[in-house]
Structure formats: structure tokens, C-alpha cells
Structure 1
Amino acid sequence: MLEIVGWVFILLFFAIGFIGLVYPVIPASLFIIGGFLIYGLFFSFADLPWWFWLIEILFVLLLFGADFLANVIGVKKFGGSKAGLWGSTIGLIFGPFIIPFAGILIGPFAGAIIAELVVNRSSIKNSIRSGVGSVIGFITSAVTKGIIQAIMVGLFFWVIL
């Protein structure tokens, strides 16, 4: 029975980690790592060698870098500024709470546009381009992080099985 409880928690943590791909307030990579820690607590840390932890920590660092870079590149490539980047980030955090589901895309889009208009006094056209870049950056980041997280979880199952 305890084994089933352990697996339920492990899989729950992995699922929350993947939900965190679209809800940035959820620290996705930490939930994935949490799933590994739960495995160690319920089963055995001996099943997870040092090189496994080293690779997983490198993946976590890669996840943080991918998240930041995709957003920066998306906004900058479409002519956005630091203000657009900050507006996009704020919109990404609050958008899903203000407009459930659609807010994940509308939030960063609107945040980038508003920031460009208010801070930089950019034209509507340039502000919208920055908003489009922020959405493209977010989608690119979510896909990239999803692939990395899938590799992390796949490596975990490969090691323990």
C-alpha cells in the first residue's frame, strides 16, 4: 500500500511539473526534482546514482536558461525593449489568474504592448510586434522546457527500471 502512495505522489509531482509549463507561477523543474526526491524517500536513494543527480541539476539550469532566453529572444527579435520584456513577464504571471486559460497568451501579449506604449511611447504597430514576440517566446519556451522535462522524467524511469 505504501508503494502505491509513493507512486501516486511521484506521478502527481511530475504532472504538476508539466502543468507548470503553462502556469509560470508553478516552479515546474522543482516539482520534477521533487518527484525524484519522493522516490528516494519512499523507495531508495541508492537507485539514483550521483551521475543521475548531476545530469538532472544540469537540466534544471538549462530549464532556467531556456525560459529566460526564449522570452528575451522573442521580444527582442520583434523589436521589443526591456520594458516590453518586463511587461510580458508581468502579464505572464498575472494573465492566467485574470483570464483563466486564455490569460496565459493574452497576459504576456497585453503586458508587452502596454509596457511599450507607456514606457517607450512606441507606436501601436511596434508595440503589437513586441506583444507577438512575447507570445512566440512563451510558446517556444514551453515547448523547449516540455522536451527537457520529458527527457528528465525519461532518464529517471530509465535509471530505476
Structure 2
Amino acid sequence: MEVLWWILIVVSFLIGFVGVVIPVIPSILMFWIGFFIYQFLISGYELGWIFWTTSAVLTVLLFFSEIIANSIFVKRFGGTKAGEYAAIIGVIAGMFVYPPIGIILVPVIGVFTVEFYQSRNRRQATRASIGSLLAFLASSLFTLLVFIFLVVWFILWVFVF
């Protein structure tokens, strides 16, 4: 039976990694499912408060990384405060509008629309909206790195510590 639980853990981690590319998959939830399977169905030993605290902090960071990245990148690419707000609202709305494409396109379109409306300068609006697209890519890379860290962290706790 333990082999079945380990297979489920590996599958949940793999689905979590797929969620980086397909944002509609609740990827971080898949990692937590794997952790809980180990904690409650395999091991009589606990993973430890350091493991759980670190994982929880990283989970919170992941939830806000896309929003923060959009705000930073739009500003860095010459967007206005209104463009930053459009990016934040776009990320949140994009989660519900035609996922997984919505989380990419809605912020980009929102930033372009707001920036173009304010400045009437297509080049500036395009530049700020490219910042929103790059923010998505940067936050996806950050998510991937956090997931790799979580898997390595889990393996170390299970087999080394």
C-alpha cells in the first residue's frame, strides 16, 4: 500500500509542475496534497515545523508573486500607476476569464487599454503591456524554482533529516 501512496505523491508533484505551464491547474495545491499523503498516510514521523513553516511561507509568496511581478514590471516598462492597477485587476480577473489563457492576456490587454487611454501613445502602451507579459514569464519562472525547491526540501526531510 505504501508504494501506491508514493506513486500518488509523485503524480501530485508532476501535476503541480504541469500547473506552471497550464495555470488553470492548482499547482501548489498538488504539492500540499503530496505532503499530506506522506504525513498522514505513510510516515509515523512528522515532517517538522520548519518544513511546514517554510512551505507555508513559500505558498503565500507564490500567491502574491504574479500580482507583485505585474506591478513591478509594468512600472519598470514605463507604465503609470493606473497601468499597475490594471495589471493587478487583470491578473485576478484573468484567473476566471478563459483560463489558462486569461491569466496571460487579460492583464496585457488591461494594461494596454489603460495606458493607451491615458497617453494616446500606442508605443508607450505597448511597452507597458509587454512588461505585464514579461511579469507573467518571470512569475512562472519563480514558481518553477519554488516548486523545485519544495520537492528537494521534501526529499531531504523524508530521506536525510
TM-score with structure 2 setting the length: 0.78
- State whether residues 84 and 111 of structure 2, in contact with CA within 8 Å, keep that contact through their aligned partners in structure 1: no
Give the total of aligned pairs.
155
Give the superposition deviation at 1:42: 2.4
Distance in 2 (alpha carbons) for counterparts of 1:123 and 1:78: 14
Task: Identify which of 125, 136, 150 aligns with 2:123.
Answer: 125
Shift of 1:83: 4.6
Shift of 1:123: 2.3
Q: Would the aligned equivalents of 2:28 and 2:59 in 1 still touch at CA under 8 Å?
A: yes
**Cα distance change of structure 1 residues 91 and 49 upon mapping to structure 2, 3 Å threshold:** closer
Q: Tell me the C-alpha RMSD between the 2 structures.
A: 2.6
**TM superposition shift of 1:139:** 0.8
Counterparts in 2 of 1:8-87, with a 5 A limit?
8-44=7-43, 46-80=45-79, 81-86=83-88
Distance 1:69 1:143 in 2: 14
Q: Which residue of 2 aligns with 1:94?
A: 97
| Native 8 Å contact 2:18 2:27 kept in 1 | yes
Q: How many Å separate the matches in 2 of 1:156 and 1:45?
A: 16
What pairs with 1:109-120 in structure 2 (closer than 5 Å)? 109-117=108-116, 120=118
For 2:84, the aligned partner's letter is K
Change (3 A) 1:67 1:53: same
Q: Note the alpha carbon deviations across 1:11-40, whole angstroms, 9 max, x for none.
A: 222122222223333332222122100112
Give the distance between the partners of 2:44 and 2:111, measured in 1 at CA.
44
Residue 67 of structure 2 contacts residue 88 of structure 2 at CA under 8 Å; is this kept in 1?
A: no
How much does 1:50 deviate?
Answer: 1.9
Which whole-Å CA distance do the structure 2 matches of 1:104 and 1:82 have between them? Answer: 15
Aligned partners of 1:86 and 1:47: how far apart in 2? 38
Mapped partners of 1:126, 1:79: distance in 2: 7
Deviation at 1:107, TM superposition (A): 5.0
Tell me which amino acid in the other structure corresponds to 2:124: N
Give unmatched runs, 5+ long, in structure 1.
none
Distance 1:7 1:66 in 2: 30
TM-score (norm 1): 0.78
State the one-letter code of the partner of 2:97.
Answer: F
Identity, in percent, stands at 32
Note if contact 1:79-1:129 (Cα within 8 Å) is conserved in structure 2.
Answer: yes
